Amino acid sequence: MSNGKERVSSQEISEALRLDATTVRKDFATLGEFGRRGYGYDVAYLKQFIAQLLYHDHPIRTVFVGSVHFYQVLQDSRLMVDEGYQVTAIFTPSAEELSTGQNGLPVFLIHDLDSFVATHAVDIAILSAAKEAQHVAEMVVQAGITAILNCTGQYIQLPGDIYVHHMDILGELQALHWRRIYEQGSLKA
């Protein structure tokens, strides 16, 4: 979009994207401070920021905390790897799962999480340890990880500076079931 330009206005961006300029300004404002009134947006900076946002300048380093079996499902799909997520280790509360190494990926007891995070950069923890989910999530935070995908089906409460996304598989199944029933006409609105 640069066409040799050093800066671009929200109006020019809106015309290229077929959006209104107000939407462009609001959307950019949610991501940070990019433009200046009367000046516009620095094209080189904007391109670099969007490239980092979309394509990541490094893999997103992830650990699994919970069942090795949950990791196997996602690993088999290759979806995470293809999208730039690098799983660096699995932490399990079960000593029986320690010998279940996954494609060269180390499996540790959950109590080793602190020492691992102290020596390895970790961006996100994927939590599937349904037993004592709150306690395990607190261990993840104590280790220094500030972003958690909670796949336990249990609601966890953590300090406000910790990013948590709750993935409720049972809720999604129920929503799918009710949608199917409704659309088949078995349930009248």
Asked whether residue 71 falls in the same domain as residue 144, the answer is: yes
Range of the domain at 84: 60-172
Q: Using one digit for the tens of pLDDT, what is the confidence trace for 54-84?
A: 655 677 888 989 877 777 766 665 556 666 7
**Domain CATH code at residue 25:** 1.10.10.10
Residue ranges of alpha helices (H) inside the chain are 10-17, 21-31, 43-55, 68-77, 79-82, 113-119, 133-142, 169-183
Q: Using one digit for the tens of pLDDT, what is the confidence trace for 132-152?
A: 899 999 999 999 999 999 988
Residue 162, pLDDT score: 95
pLDDT band at 20 (very low <50, low <70, confident <90, very high): confident
pLDDT band at 156 (very low <50, low <70, confident <90, very high): very high
How does DSSP classify residue 95?
G
**Domain CATH code at residue 85:** 3.40.50.720
Asked whether residue 117 falls in the same domain as residue 163, the answer is: yes
